[in-house]
Amino acid sequence: MSAFIEATKWPDDADPDDTTALLQCLIVDERTPSSAAAGQHMHRNGQFVVALSGLVGLRIGDREIAFPPSSAAWVPPGLFHEGFLGEGAASLYCLINPDWARMLPQHPYRLLLDPMTIEMLKRFTRYPVGFLLNSHEARLARVLFEELMGARQLPLSFVPLSSHPALKRIAEALVKNPGDSRRTREWADLCAMSERTLARLVVRETGLSFGAWRLRIIMLAATHHLLAGECVEEVAERIGYSSASAFTAAFRRVFGLTPGMLRRGEAGLLRDASL
């Protein structure tokens, strides 16, 4: 991984393999330099990886996957993986005891979270790990777990990334400047390859056409600006759309909801949303 995307660094006092608690949550917002990263690994606990801000994702096998705010990814116990963060990003990890994890799918998937569930997850970051089984915290943990179990499941991949240097270069440029209007031929020239070669490379590495892959990257960036409080018109201009209406139409095609719905926290409540 490049300096643009680096492995997560857990807090020094955190133990992702501590199975004494049925459920525990912590904020992970620091990164480990690539030279010091442990690489893909597994844990005894399952994990929900929640995107709070910035570029948050997972590496599983040869896949690198980023996912937007209001969504999370489930990593079952024993699955080799590595979390990563972009510059300035923040994530929340919810560790699930193996006994509870057996009630969830034994394969990774993505899920939509409603505002209440996200706030409950944040609240649990303030709770001590060793709460008693008959305590108020334990009762809330059971409610939170039921919300996570009942959340809408989506395919794991939203924005497939790639370890290929050319595609990493393009993805980094688009995340830093989502309004970059260069055409496929210009990106190909930048990467010293033909337009056809670049198109084939993107399909092979991500399963998407170049246009669809680029659109998902810039829409991922758009979600962060919207949730940071920018108005639709500002975000539309930032990512290169000539009008707010054109941006709104494209946003809805990708996510199944409007930018306004996202800002109001409705993503996790909509049947057709694909955020």
Read off the pLDDT band of 1 (50, 70, 90). very low
> 224, 231 in Cβ contact below 8 A?
no
The CATH code of the domain that includes 223 is 1.10.10.60
Which neighbouring-strand residues pair with 90? 53
The total number of structural domains in the chain stands at 2
Which of 129, 154, 179 terminates a domain? The answer is: 154
Q: Assess whether 145 and 177 both reside in one domain.
A: no
- Length of the chain counted residue by residue: 275
Q: What is the pLDDT of residues 94-149, one digit of tens each?
A: 999 999 999 999 999 999 888 899 999 999 999 877 776 788 888 999 999 999 99
Distance CA 268, CA 90 (A): 19
Which neighbouring-strand residues pair with 83? 58
Q: Assess whether 11 and 129 both reside in one domain.
A: yes
Q: Assess whether 149 and 169 both reside in one domain.
A: no
Q: Assess whether 137 and 196 both reside in one domain.
A: no
Q: What is the pLDDT of residues 170-192, one digit of tens each?
A: 998 998 899 999 999 999 999 99
Find the domain containing 15 and state its range.
Answer: 5-154
Q: Is residue 215 part of a domain?
A: yes
The CATH code of the domain that includes 18 is 2.60.120.280
DSSP 35: G
Residue 273 in this model has a pLDDT that exceeds 70: no
As a whole number, the mean pLDDT across the chain is 90
> 273, 257 in Cβ contact below 8 A?
yes
Which of 121, 154, 187 terminates a domain? The answer is: 154
Q: Is residue 209 part of a domain?
A: yes
Interacting residues of 253 by C-beta distance below 8 A, sequence separation 6+ = none
Q: Assess whether 105 and 19 both reside in one domain.
A: yes
